[in-house]
């Protein structure tokens, strides 16, 4: 697999290295978010594009009341996440799903929070994926997107399938989300979008 595709689906030995690097690179995103949010201890949470599983690990440390899911379409990332979170897997409080965001193997109205850290630019059909997220969230459940917000014309901007604040809001509202909020002050060059079912 070409190196530029490894971000979308880390594969093989190089993919495992990238997964570990992503765990380190995204640490400040995870901790910054968790430090600003009060998440109820009984929440059922899915991390889409869970990669090496670091955010799931932080959630587990935050509260032993959380019921956790991780979804990734890379076997290597599921394996890596499983290694990091083996105790939670053994206890049954974490389930790891290898599969597509376009068809998530979770029942309707099952979750309180779904997160997506720097992954939506890799979703081939953003509308189908957002509809799936909406389907699996319970009433008043929240969807959190944290993504790069690059300047127009840059390489990252060209990769993005949602390119503006208005696009984020419109995409979420089109599948049924309400109370959509945008935060550009979280971290320089990043955007937080939250929607509620």
The pairing of beta strand 67-72 with beta strand 111-117: unpaired
pLDDT at 151: 82
Task: Provide the residue-wise pLDDT of the chain in tens; the chain has 197 residues.
Answer: 444 454 555 566 665 656 566 766 677 778 888 887 889 999 999 999 998 999 999 999 999 999 999 999 889 989 999 999 999 999 999 999 999 999 999 999 999 999 999 889 889 899 999 999 999 999 999 999 998 887 888 887 877 788 889 999 999 999 999 999 999 877 778 899 999 99
Model confidence pLDDT, tens digit, residues 2-44: 444 545 555 666 656 565 667 666 777 788 888 878 899 999 9
pLDDT at 2: 45
pLDDT at 23: 61
CA distance linking residue 110 with residue 141, whole number of Å: 9
pLDDT at 61: 93
Please, what is the Cα angle at 123 between 118 and 127, to 5 degrees?
115
Among 129, 175, 121, residue whose Cα is nearest residue 149: 121
Q: What top-level class would CATH report for the domain 41-196?
A: alpha beta
* Nearby residues of 1 by Cβ (< 8 Å), 6 or more positions away: 9, 11, 12, 14, 15
Tokens representing 132 are 């799936």
Domain map (residue ranges) of the chain: 41-196
pLDDT at 19: 56
CA distance linking residue 41 with residue 56, whole number of Å: 14
Where do the DSSP E strands lie in 34-163? 44-48, 67-72, 94-98, 111-117, 137-148
DSSP class of residue 164? S
Q: Which residue do the tokens 């300047």 mark?
A: 151
Q: Which residue do the tokens 């935060």 mark?
A: 183
Model confidence pLDDT, tens digit, residues 93-107: 999 999 999 999 999
CA distance linking residue 58 with residue 115, whole number of Å: 13
């Amino acid at each position: 697999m070409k190196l530029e595709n490894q971000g979308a689906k880390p594969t093989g030995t190089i993919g495992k290295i990238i997964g570990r690097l992503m765990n380190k690179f995204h640490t400040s995103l995870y901790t910054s978010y968790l430090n600003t949010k009060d998440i109820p201890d009984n929440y059922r949470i899915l991390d889409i594009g869970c990669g090496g599983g670091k955010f799931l690990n932080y959630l587990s440390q935050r509260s032993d009341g959380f019921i956790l899911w991780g979804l990734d379409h890379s076997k290597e990332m599921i394996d890596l996440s499983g290694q990091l979170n083996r105790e939670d897997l053994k206890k049954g409080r974490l389930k790891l799903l290898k599969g597509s965001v376009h068809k998530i193997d979770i029942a309707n109205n099952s979750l309180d929070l779904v997160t997506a850290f720097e992954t939506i630019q890799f979703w081939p059909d953003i509308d189908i994926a957002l509809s799936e997220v909406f389907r699996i969230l319970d009433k008043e459940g929240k969807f959190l997107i944290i993504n790069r917000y690059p300047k127009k014309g840059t390489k990252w901007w060209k990769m993005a399938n949602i390119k503006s604040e208005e696009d984020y809001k419109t995409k979420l509202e089109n599948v049924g989300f309400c109370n959509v909020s945008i935060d550009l002050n979280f971290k320089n060059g990043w955007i937080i979008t939250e929607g509620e079912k």
